[in-house]
Homo-oligomer: A and B are copies of this chain.
Amino acid sequence: MDKLKTEILDLAKSAQRASLRVAELGSGEKNAWIKNTCTLLQERREIIFEANRADLEMADKKSVTGPIRARLDLSGSRWDDMISGLEQIAELEDPVGQVTRMWVRPNGLKVGRMRIPLGVIGIIYESRPNVTIDAAALCVKAGNACILRGGSDAINTNLALGEVLRDATTKTEVPREAISVISMTDRSAIDHLLRASSFVDLVIPRGGPELIRHVTEKSSVPILRHDAGICHMFIDKSAQFEMASSLILDSKLRQVSVCNGLETLLVHRDTKDDLLPRILKTLLKSGVEIRGCPEICRILPEAIPAKESDWTTEYLDTILSVKVVHGLEEAIEHIRSYGSNHTEVIVTESIKTAEDFLDRVNSSTVGVNCSTAFSDGFRLGLGAEIGISTSKLHAYGPMGLEGLTTEKFILRGEGQIRE
């Protein structure tokens, strides 16, 4: 057995042992570790930024620019957000041990569902080193051990953050082995983790299509994909200009490098004499590049003809693909064919069309008359989020603490038999 495999399996085994202890900790004990982490992050601020600068320099050498480079950077508001995120997680209600329902059977047997941790959770993510902190805090708060594997482009920052997370266990009940950051940048480290189904209960891949495809193919551990967002907005014929343009601009431009950003706009053909040209002009004026279907290109000479691949591209940039459709039916058909089960929104004044869209589109978040940017655990009131699942099982859509737990059945009897 090769050395790397042995190392990953050893790490997974000790995570599993640690997970049994984490599962039995009370909220106070887990929160003490989160608070230690906050303190230690501030104390080691300089060390961490030094590591982060090393990663940024590496990116510059590879000529990485734009949103991809920006994601790597831990400075500015991102640092403060990371700390306040931790403080919020400490304040979240502990899901472990909650009895969510309890009922009594005709024979007097009491039956309930109790929330329990999943066990060991592997998180495989790209860029964004702050995920290291968020993900570890959420996993442990929900009573789990975690194994973290960030992108090789953020390896220095991730390892520095990992040391903080582990050192913060000192003088707490949380075992050090409950948090591991995989230091090997070799991609086969991921593959060994994905085959460790005896020790790992869940793997969450967060990243681009290539990572997701690789993990789906290789994993014998259950996975919840946190996939690209090809988010759609459908502008119905009854939509009003003010609301439509404000929702489109917020969904596309609020922050372009996020998975809940708008990537494809579908517009009802009945709007093409008035509403549609006004929307297109507003987009152009806001600096958005438009890749359009032939009809859009006829209306707007500045539009670039969309290729087939544009309908499945997550631009993460100031680019929007726009298509004219005959109505709700064609919009739904397009979303089913090209979407990624992430977030879709309709803008309409018609109650019938709104309800049809809500009922029939089965993406993980489906909205009426709101920005796609609300597809976010914090904005929806989940307290925090580990990511946005596009896998239908277990947790579909923004996934908070609850998604990191499961429910067992508990039975309270007085000697009941079935015979």
Contacts and interface: CB of A to CB of B under 8 A. Distances in A.
A82 B379 CA distance: 47
Interface string A102-119: 010100010100101111
A243 B415 contact: yes
A246 B417 contact: yes
Interface in A327-348: 336, 345
Nearest to A225: B222
Contact of A370 (B197, B336, B393, B413): B413
A367 interface: yes
B417 A250 contact: yes
Interface in A361-419: 362-371, 373-375, 379-381, 391-394, 396-398, 406-419
Nearest to A224: B393
Nearest to A389: B406
A371 B417 contact: yes
A271 to B, nearest CB: 17
B412 A368 contact: yes
Contacts of A391: 222
A23 interface: yes
A155 to B, nearest CB: 28
A376 B164 CA distance: 46
A10 interface: no
Contact of A368 (B117, B242, B411): B411
A61 to B, nearest CB: 35
A394 B395 CA distance: 7
A362 B408 contact: yes
A288 interface: no
- Stoichiometry, copies per complex: 2
Contacts of A379: 105, 418
A134 B380 CA distance: 38
Contacts of A222: 222-223, 391-393
Nearest to A197: B216
Given A243-B415, A250-B419, A381-B111, A202 B367 contact: no
A406 B341 CA distance: 13
A322 to B, nearest CB: 19
Most chain B CB within a 10 A radius of its CB, from A224, A363, A418: A418
A360 interface: yes
A81 to B, nearest CB: 15
A247 B109 CA distance: 14
Interface string A237-277: 00000110011001000100000000000000000000000
A397 B413 contact: no
Contacts of A201: 392-393
A223 B220 CA distance: 10
A217 interface: yes
B202 A374 contact: no
Given A118-B392, A373-B417, A366 B409 contact: yes
Contact of A374 (B243, B362, B368, B411): B411
Nearest to A216: B220
A93 interface: no
A144 to B, nearest CB: 11
B413 A369 contact: yes
A208 interface: no
Given A380-B105, A393-B393, A418 B369 contact: no
Contacts of A380: 105, 111, 409, 411
Q: Which 5 A-B pairs have the closest CB atoms?
A: A370-B413, A367-B411, A250-B417, A394-B394, A373-B418
28 contacts: A23-B362, A105-B380, A117-B362, A118-B393, A201-B393, A202-B392, A222-B223, A222-B391, A243-B415, A246-B415, A247-B417, A254-B418, A345-B411, A363-B408, A364-B408, A364-B409, A365-B410, A365-B411, A367-B410, A367-B413, A369-B415, A370-B412, A370-B413, A370-B414, A370-B416, A373-B417, A396-B408, A398-B409
